[in-house]
């Protein structure tokens, strides 16, 4: 099973508001670079603003919506202990806590998982 790890909503909101500051800084830098006619500084400011805009978009999605973007994915299929699950199911069936049909259904689900 793959899970996406995202930063907390509070951290994302803070990053968004810090991004506003960096965006204002970049705009000021760009205006000065244009006034001074320094093309490399202007290009740097444009790249700066693009990176800040992307970061702000991700932070906004993570902080203010439920459609956040993850930082990275982890695969926790290796953490799934098939033997333990099957033995637990068998024990539940033997103690009549689940029916034979429920046992067969859950057993099939466990065996369908990727090994």
Which one has a higher pLDDT value, 86 or 73? 86
Place of tokens 């490399």: 40
Q: Are residues 69 and 100 in the same domain?
A: no
Average of pLDDT values for 74-88? 76
- Listed residue (12, 16, 49) closest to 34, CA to CA: 49
Q: Judge whether 26 and 33 are in contact, CB under 8 Å.
A: no
Q: Does the pLDDT at position 2 exceed 80? A: no
Task: Kindly report the average pLDDT of the chain as a whole number.
Answer: 89
Tally of structural domains, the chain: 2
Q: Are residues 52 and 84 in the same domain?
A: no
Average of pLDDT values for 45-66? 94
Give pLDDT, residue 77.
57
Give pLDDT, residue 80.
65
Give pLDDT, residue 75.
66
Cα torsion at 28, 32, 34, 37 (round to 10°)?
-160
Q: How confident is the model at residue 36 (pLDDT cuts 50, 70, 90)?
A: very high
Q: Are residues 12 and 67 in the same domain?
A: yes
Query: Using one digit for the tens of pLDDT, what is the confidence trace for 4-30?
Result: 788 889 999 999 999 999 999 999 999
Q: Judge whether 53 and 27 are in contact, CB under 8 Å.
A: no
Burial of 58-94, coded b for 16+ CB within 10 Å and e otherwise, reads bbbbbbeeeebeeeeeeeeeeeeeeeebeeebeeebe
Q: Are residues 64 and 101 in the same domain?
A: no
Size of the chain in residues: 115
Domain range holding 107? 80-112
Q: Are residues 98 and 43 in the same domain?
A: no
Q: Are residues 15 and 71 in the same domain?
A: yes
């Amino acid at each position: 099973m793959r899970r996406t790890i995202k930063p907390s909503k509070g951290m994302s909101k803070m990053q968004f508001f810090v991004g506003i500051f960096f965006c204002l800084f970049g705009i000021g830098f760009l205006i000065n670079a244009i006034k001074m006619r320094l093309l490399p500084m202007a290009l740097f400011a444009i790249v700066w603003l693009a990176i800040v805009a992307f970061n702000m978009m991700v932070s906004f999605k993570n902080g203010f919506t439920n459609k956040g973007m993850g930082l990275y994915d982890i695969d926790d299929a290796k953490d799934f202990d098939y033997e333990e699950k099957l033995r637990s199911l068998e024990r539940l069936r033997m103690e009549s806590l689940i029916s034979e049909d429920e046992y067969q259904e859950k057993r099939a689900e466990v065996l369908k998982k990727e090994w």
